[in-house]
Structure 1
């Protein structure tokens, strides 16, 4: 008489353990599915507000478990990657990293944001002469190569940010393999008037610096209490 209840308890404990194991194994998958749905919805809302975007942005919500963060209405990290086109028709790749994103009413606000807007070299060469090519010189500067009278001219320049204005300043040059003065009249004339005033950035971001890398020229920006949607 005493064995049956004991066997029943053992079977109950076994089934409970199995169900618990299945739930623990399934929880990450369910959590990831819910996160993916939320990322897609947030991407759609950002695309609806930013007309310069090309296609939907790619959104990644960090932190695990997602469901717990969703219940709290706060996410530690959100990354947004997008392609856009400026008013001048230049292609730009945008990368925005958001921290402490909280749900506020009908939208979201990030406590802080770091952004990078990268223009590929092939979208920046207009006005530097036919056949001019741009690249990174390996030291964080811009390299311009072109031919003059059939001979190679190379100019290395630094992009500089002052307030909201970007200027490109020649710092070294060579013609036919020989060093020349980068401040000479012909080189200076080629770069004169090439100032660029940074337009109003989305979500109140403010430009902080400009850099040159293998992917192109990048404008860095930062913001606090950034409103997303």
Structure 2
């Protein structure tokens, strides 16, 4: 049996330990690089969207990050932010960017899908002072309030036509008894409550609207989004 000299074994041990240290440090370095990229994208978005409140949260879905960055394309980037509309309504925005690349200091995404959620509280007194809002089991808007000390419940569908959002009552009850949702009093309460979707950033086009536990959500999409 041939024994290696002690000096040779120590050298192999040092090489093995150094290699292990490098391998252990790779995930840390990869995460740091990803965090730096996330911060750069967040600052770029915040600097160009005055409606945002604070700095958005950016998450890059690419692990390991460095090989994807070296190829020049990130498969998925998620962005979450708080914003305020021109009317002063609060909105929670989430954006999913696919195939994001950087060229000459500008970012380009092959596709972008966004959701803008307005909490129920942002409706204020638009549909009746003292009203409370929630989502029913079928994803419709439920409005409850008291009229002359008796409970009134109206269930409405939130619809998107082009860039116009309307709230259309489809069921109602007063003091536990069904009433016609198309009756004059209920119709008058909802008349003129349309909302026109303003121009969205990045060329996003409205595609739909939904009601959930967090509020009313506008869905939008765009292709070939570029933000410099």
Query: 1:94 touches 1:117 (CA, 8 Å); kept in 2?
Result: yes
Q: Which residue in the other structure is 1:209 paired with?
A: 208
More moved, 45-54 vs 145-154: 145-154
| Deviation of the 1:36 alpha carbon | 1.0
| Deviation of the 1:167 alpha carbon | 0.7
Q: Which residue in the other structure is 1:97 paired with?
A: 96
| Deviation of the 1:96 alpha carbon | 0.4
| Deviation of the 1:14 alpha carbon | 1.7
| Deviation of the 1:81 alpha carbon | 0.2
2:168 is aligned with 1:169: yes
CA distance in 2, matches of 1:6, 1:162: 82
2:84 is aligned with 1:82: no
Q: Which residue in the other structure is 2:62 paired with?
A: 63
User: In the TM superposition, what whole-angstrom CA distance separates every residue of 1:173-212 from its partner, at most 9, and x where no partner exists?
Assistant: 0001100000001000100101111111110111110000
| Deviation of the 1:35 alpha carbon | 1.1
2:117 is aligned with 1:118: yes
| Deviation of the 1:140 alpha carbon | 0.4
1:134-149 → structure 2 map (5 Å cutoff): 134-149=133-148
TM-score relative to the length of structure 2? 0.96
Query: 1:78 touches 1:97 (CA, 8 Å); kept in 2?
Result: yes
CA distance in 2, matches of 1:6, 1:205: 69
More moved, 156-165 vs 60-69: 60-69
User: In the TM superposition, what whole-angstrom CA distance separates every residue of 1:78-112 from its partner, at most 9, and x where no partner exists?
Assistant: 00000000001100000001110001222101101
CA distance in 1, matches of 2:185, 2:8: 92
Aligned residues: CA RMSD: 1.3
SS in 2 for 1:57: strand
SS in 1 for 2:110: strand
CA distance in 1, matches of 2:163, 2:104: 32
| Deviation of the 1:69 alpha carbon | 2.0
CA distance in 1, matches of 2:95, 2:188: 36
Q: Which residue in the other structure is 1:220 paired with?
A: 219
CA distance in 2, matches of 1:101, 1:172: 45
CA distance in 1, matches of 2:178, 2:170: 11
Q: Which residue in the other structure is 1:8 paired with?
A: 7
TM-score relative to the length of structure 1? 0.95
More moved, 155-164 vs 22-31: 22-31
| Deviation of the 1:62 alpha carbon | 1.2
2:42 is aligned with 1:25: no
